[in-house]
Amino acid sequence: MNFLIVTIISLVPYSYAELDFGHRCLLFMGSCVDHCPRMMHPYNTRCDGDTVSQRTCSNPEVRILGFTCGWSRCDCNGDLLLDEENGLCVPFKQCTTPFNPRFRPRPGSDRHQPPTNTRIKIPSHGIEDDRTTL
């Protein structure tokens, strides 16, 4: 009985070798690829910190997705964005995918600037006045 169990356990690695679990999987355009296309690099989560979102033409802002682990994807190099229509990395001004107009860059600027928040108003007095009365 013990010999049978040892034999079965020793054959398990050979059965997994036939299934090719060592295949490298990088997520690109909803499918698994071996290598990233030109002008892209692999982004691995590595389980060592927060994962950031992929910059695309429809969502050019980087967002923190939180702690994720165990997957990889292809990201565009440098300041390029992924155009979801054709799967290419392009500069912001050459995007063909419609994007949210509040992320539109200001005229004359090459880089995207996030919109400023006008709802938060901090009065210039108040805090200093309270300290002087103590």
pLDDT tens-place string over residues 6-29: 445 555 444 444 444 566 799 898
Q: Which helix H or strand E contains 19, and what residues bound it?
A: helix 2-19
For position 43, what pLDDT does the model report?
A: 92
Burial bucket for residue 23 (CB in 10 Å: 0-12, 13-18, 19+): exposed
Neighbouring CB atoms inside 10 A of 36's CB total 19
Query: What whole-number distance in Å separates Cα of residue 29 and Cα of residue 88?
Result: 10
Residue type at 128?
E
Residue 88 clears pLDDT 50, i.e. is over it: yes
Write out pLDDT tens, residues 92-115.
999 986 655 555 555 555 555 555
Residue for token digits 């799967």? 87
3 has pLDDT over 60? no
Dihedral sign from CA coordinates of 45, 50, 51, 55: negative
At residue 15, the pLDDT reads 41
Q: What is the pLDDT of residue 14?
A: 42
Distance of CA 29 to the CA centre of its chain: 13
Helices (H), the chain: 2-19, 127-133
pTM: 0.55
For tokens 């165990």, name the residue: 70
pLDDT bracket for residue 40 (50, 70, 90): very high
Distance CA 90, CA 108 (A): 19
Measured from the Cβ of residue 60, the count of other Cβ atoms closer than 10 Å reads 19
The model's pLDDT over 51-81, given as tens digits with 9 standing for 90+, comes to: 899 999 999 999 998 888 888 999 999 999 9
